């Protein structure tokens, strides 16, 4: 699934580690999310969207 | 955080126990053949994997990241399921070794019961690490 995590993370000057800590996951999970190689649970998707101050349907696209 | 450190400490304790047991077995065994080497080398390979795993996870926990998250749990579940499935063939291979290959290929060097069970369990653990590595690094969990 495509997403805008990488660009929004850059916009807010978060490192992958900082974002991982914010949403309570491991850094590798953020790496795989950004590459679109892991589809998160609904809960994690909401947490990431909240951390990046964006609506969930604007963050992810099919 | 503290709970994660305790879990890592337990993993390290088990790894050291496996290493010590394998080394004691290595020093005690008098035979040098394929049957006596399988229960020695498989635990040693597992120990190397575990040391690599524990060091990486300890570094992450120290930086404040969780020991496990939803993706790592999914990876473990998938790796365990696949390792179980493939290990059935591994166990079958060991039984073939016992009944056929030992006599034909290794001049009748049969495994004793302990070596067979040790090789079976060790092989399952090794398969688990191989699949864990595959799902953790390569596979797309989508």
Q: Do B142 and A39 touch (CB under 8 A)?
A: yes
The whole model's pTM is what?
0.76
Closest in A17, A26, A38 to B66, CB measured: A26
Q: Which of B94, B83, B70, B98 is nearest to B132 (CA)?
A: B83
Task: Give the start-to-end residue ranges of the domains of chain A.
Answer: 2-54
**CB-neighbour burial class of residue B106 (10 A; exposed 0-12, middle 13-18, buried 19+):** middle
B32-77 pLDDT, tens digit per residue, is 776 677 777 888 888 988 898 899 888 888 888 888 899 999 999 9
Q: What ipTM did this prediction achieve?
A: 0.87
DSSP 8-state secondary structure symbol assigned to residue B138: I
Closest in A1, A26, A39 to B60, CB measured: A26
Closest in B72, B140, B142 to A26, CB measured: B72
Instruction: Give backbone dihedrals phi and psi of A38, rounded to 5 degrees, phi first.
Output: -145, 125
- Note the helical H segments in A1-62: 5-11, 16-23, 27-34, 42-51, 56-59
Residues of chain B contacting A39 with CB distance shorter than 8 Å: 141-142
**Percent of chain B whose pLDDT exceeds 70:** 85
A2-54: CATH number: 1.10.260.40
Highest mean predicted confidence (pLDDT) among B39-53, B77-91, B94-108: B77-91
A7-44 pLDDT, tens digit per residue, is 999 999 999 999 999 999 999 899 999 998 899 999 99
């Amino acid at each position: 699934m495509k997403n805008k995590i990488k660009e929004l993370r850059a916009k807010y000057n978060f490192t992958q580690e900082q974002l991982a800590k914010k949403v309570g996951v491991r850094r590798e999970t953020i790496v795989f999310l950004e590459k679109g190689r892991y589809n998160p649970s609904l809960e994690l998707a909401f947490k990431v969207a909240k951390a990046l101050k964006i609506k969930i349907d604007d963050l992810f696209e099919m | 955080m503290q709970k994660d450190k305790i879990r890592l400490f337990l993993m390290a304790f088990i790894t050291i126990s496996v290493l010590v047991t394998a080394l004691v077995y290595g020093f005690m065994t008098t035979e040098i053949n394929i049957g006596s080497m399988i229960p020695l080398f498989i635990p040693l390979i597992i120990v190397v994997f575990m040391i690599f795993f524990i060091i990486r996870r300890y570094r992450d926990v120290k930086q404040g990241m969780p020991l496990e998250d939803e993706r790592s749990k999914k990876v473990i579940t998938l790796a365990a399921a696949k390792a179980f499935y493939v290990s059935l063939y591994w166990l079958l291979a060991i039984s073939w070794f016992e009944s056929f290959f030992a006599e034909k290929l290794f001049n009748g060097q049969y495994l004793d019961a302990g070596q067979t069970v040790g090789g079976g369990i060790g092989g399952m653990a090794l398969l688990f690490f191989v699949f864990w590595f595959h799902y953790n690094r390569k596979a797309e969990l989508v």
